[in-house]
């Protein structure tokens, strides 16, 4: 029998958080694939989410993302070419459509059932391609609560790597202790935490900016000394941050991509309201957005480097970590499978790790 060395009332008050095995290796969510411009030049393959993916643009202008390794003998389809709506394998010229089906095998009219690539929902927005990890998007590509994508201009993407799992990275949004300890923000009221949509969890809070860093001094002078912030995390990996100061508002997103070594690739994009006036728009695109990008990237990269090697230990969470523990419980309960009614042709996803998929949800076809 295991004996506790703590007073009973202490262990009883601790929040419960799920074991690390509860979290998907590669959650069903939206991820940044890359720029639309690079895919317009020809098929592009990237290693992400534990597999090789290929993006291509059909002759009619549609983007598609497929598993990159050909179902025949594994050639990388990114080395092939586009023919109309189809992507042609460089090896034996099998032709695949945007939905992954094999439309043509030269020299034969018989197409075997295994001749098929996994295909992924893809959205173009602000010159980027975002891909959903699954055959059906479980939720639309998220955006800020106060506007449509066309209302905003986007800065260049910035990136940094966190050497901790994706769920530890995004849990910062609900780690109330760290707002003061790391970011010098003093909470002015208890945070409001809710789920505005089935795959979204949000933390809204008001805080005073106390920091003495260059960025915080600039913030207080230019924007104001208090902030109303909203952090919304979709699918556990796609983070939208809205921060309103007395004289300025900040909008940025972070996509968190689990890497095969257990680290997390974080990519960020800052936004600003689009102006109808072309001169102001040019100023925003060439001056305001690069400055915001510089400060936001620096701030997040600095945090990631100071918090190296943090890890998940559900048994070491205390009462002050309750909101974070509840976030972990929410994450562990997120569906990883598309509802059967919305799955194509009865296909369904299994989130159970397997030897072949290394934990990536795999498409289980009827009869397979
Ligand atoms: S490896 Fe692709 S067609 Fe043979
Ligand atoms: Fe943080």
> pLDDT tens-digit profile of 273-291?
999 899 999 999 999 999 9
- If one counts every other C-beta atom within 10 angstroms of the C-beta of residue 352, the result is 11
- Ligand 1: residue of 77, 79, 89, 95 to mutate (most ligand atoms within 8 A of CB) is 89
pLDDT one-digit tens code per residue, 37-57: 999 999 999 999 999 999 999
Higher pLDDT residue, 274 or 340? 274
Whole-angstrom Cα distance, residue 55 to residue 275?
32
Token pair of 194 as six digits: 């809710």
Atom of ligand 1 nearest to the CA of 94: 3
Q: Which ligand is nearest to the CA of 306?
A: 2
Residue 347, pLDDT score: 34
pLDDT tens-digit map of 61-96: 999 999 999 999 999 999 999 999 999 999 999 999
Q: Tokens 């890890």 label which residue? A: 311
Distance from residue 295's CA to the centre of ligand 2 (Å): 14
Of ligand 1's listed atoms, the one at least distance from the Cα of 73 is 1
Q: Among all ligands shown, which has an atom nearest to the Cα of 170?
A: 2
Instruction: Give the pLDDT band of residue 307 (cuts 50, 70, 90).
Output: confident
Mean predicted confidence (pLDDT) in 348-360: 32
Instruction: Please report the pLDDT score of residue 340 as a whole number.
Output: 63
Q: Which of 296, 232, 303, 244 is nearest to 270 (CA)?
A: 296
- Ligand 2 centroid vs 159 CA: distance in angstroms? 15
- pLDDT class of 215 with cuts at 50, 70, 90: confident
Tell me the mean pLDDT in the region 116-135: 98
Measure the CA–CA gap between 253 and 141, rounded to whole angstroms.
12
pLDDT computed for residue 218 by the predictor: 87
Question: Residues 25, 30, 33, 37: what is their CA dihedral angle, to the nearest 10 degrees?
Answer: 180
Please give the span between the terminal C-alpha atoms of the chain, in angstroms, as a whole number.
45
Mutating to test ligand 1, I would choose from 45, 52, 68, 72 the residue with most ligand atoms within 8 A of its C-beta, which is 72
353 pLDDT above the threshold of 70 = no
CA distances from 285 to 57, 272, 360 (A): 27, 8, 38
- Look up residue 231 and give its two tokens: 């952090």
Between the CA of 300 and the centroid of ligand 2 the distance, in Å, is 7
- Structure confidence at residue 100 as a pLDDT band (50, 70, 90): very high
CA distance 161 to 301: 8
302 or 328: which leads in pLDDT: 328
For the chain, which domains are there?
30-132 (2.102.10.10), 149-330 (3.90.380.10), 338-364 (no CATH)
* 89 Cα nearest atom in ligand 1: 2
Q: Which residues pair with 124 in a beta bridge?
A: 129
Instruction: Compute the distance from residue 156 Cα to the ligand 1 centre, in Å.
Output: 37
Characterise 49 by phi-psi region: left (phi > 0), alpha (psi -120 to 50), beta (else): left
pLDDT at 262: 95
Task: Please report the pLDDT score of residue 15 as a whole number.
Answer: 87
In this predicted structure, the answer to whether residue 10 has a pLDDT above a threshold of 60 is: no
- pLDDT bucket at 12, cuts 50 / 70 / 90: low
Tokens standing for 25?
A: 């290796």
Q: Determine which residue's CA is closest to atom 1 belonging to ligand 1.
A: 73
Quote the tokens at residue 16.
Answer: 């419960």
Asked if pLDDT for residue 183 goes beyond 70, the answer is: yes
Beta strands in 141-199 (DSSP E): 152-154, 158-162, 185-187, 192-197
- Record the tokens describing residue 349, joined without a space: 């996803």
Count of C-beta atoms within a 10 Å radius of residue 316: 10
Strands (E) in 219-353, as ranges, are 226-234, 238-245, 249-258, 264-273, 348-350
Question: How far apart, in whole angstroms, are the C-alpha atoms of residue 191 and residue 169?
Answer: 19
Please report, rounded to a whole number, the percentage of residues in the chain having pLDDT higher than 70. 89
- Return the pLDDT at 11: 52
* Rounded to 5°, angle at Cα 144 from 56 and 293: 75
- What is the C-alpha to C-alpha distance for residues 25 and 22, in angstroms, rounded to an integer? 9
Which residues is 321 bridged to in the sheet?
A: none
CB-neighbour burial class of residue 9 (10 A; exposed 0-12, middle 13-18, buried 19+):
exposed
Cβ proximity of 350 and 344 under 8 Å: no
Q: Are 75 and 90 in contact (CB under 8 A)?
A: yes
Counting every residue, how long is the chain?
368
Highest mean pLDDT among 194-203, 208-217, 339-348: 194-203
Q: Is the pLDDT of residue 3 over 60?
A: no
State the closest ligand 1 atom to the C-alpha of 77, by its place in the atom list counted from 1.
2
Confidence label for 310 from pLDDT (cuts 50, 70 and 90): very high
Question: What pLDDT band is residue 368 in, cutting at 50, 70 and 90?
Answer: very low
Ligand 1 pocket by Cβ (under 6 Å): 70, 72-73, 75, 89, 91-92, 94
What's phi and psi for 162, nearest 5 deg? -100, 130
- The pair of three-digit structure tokens given for residue 5, joined into one six-digit string: 């060395």
- Judge if pTM exceeds 0.85: yes
């Amino acid at each position: 029998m295991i004996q506790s060395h703590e007073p009973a009332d202490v262990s009883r008050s601790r929040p419960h958080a799920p074991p690390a095995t509860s979290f998907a290796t590669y959650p069903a969510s939206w991820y940044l694939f890359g720029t639309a411009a690079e895919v317009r030049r020809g098929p592009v393959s990237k290693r992400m989410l534990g597999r090789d993916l290929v993006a291509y643009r059909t002759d009619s202008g549609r983007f598609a993302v497929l598993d990159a390794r050909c179902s025949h003998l594994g050639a990388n389809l990114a080395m092939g070419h586009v023919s109309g709506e189809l992507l042609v394998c460089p090896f034996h010229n099998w032709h695949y459509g945007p939905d992954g089906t094999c439309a043509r095998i030269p020299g034969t009219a018989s197409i075997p059932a295994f001749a098929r690539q996994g295909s992924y929902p893809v959205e173009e927005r602000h010159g980027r391609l975002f891909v959903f990890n699954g055959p059906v998007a479980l939720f639309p590509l998220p955006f800020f609560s106060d506007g449509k994508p066309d209302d905003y201009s986007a800065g260049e993407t910035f990136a940094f790597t966190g050497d901790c799992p994706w769920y530890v990275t995004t849990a910062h949004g609900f780690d109330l202790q760290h707002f003061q300890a790391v970011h010098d923000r003093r909470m002015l009221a208890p945070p409001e935490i809710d789920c505005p949509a089935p795959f979204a969890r949000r933390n809204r809070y008001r805080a005073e900016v106390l920091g003495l860093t260059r960025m915080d001094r600039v913030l207080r002078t230019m924007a104001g000394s208090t902030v109303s912030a909203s952090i919304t995390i979709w699918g556990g990996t796609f983070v939208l941050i809205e921060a309103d100061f007395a004289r300025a508002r900040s909008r940025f997103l972070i996509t968190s991509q689990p890497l095969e070594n257990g680290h997390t690739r974080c990519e960020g994009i800052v936004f600003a309201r689009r102006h109808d006036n072309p001169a102001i728009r040019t100023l925003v695109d060439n001056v305001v957005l690069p400055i915001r990008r510089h400060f936001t990237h620096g701030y997040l990269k600095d945090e990631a480097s100071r918090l190296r090697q943090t890890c998940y230990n559900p048994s070491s969470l205390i009462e002050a970590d309750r909101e974070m523990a509840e976030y972990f419980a929410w994450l562990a309960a997120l569906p990883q499978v598309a509802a059967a009614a919305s799955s194509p042709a009865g296909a369904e996803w299994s989130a159970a790790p397997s030897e072949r998929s290394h934990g990536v949800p795999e498409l289980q076809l009827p009869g397979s």
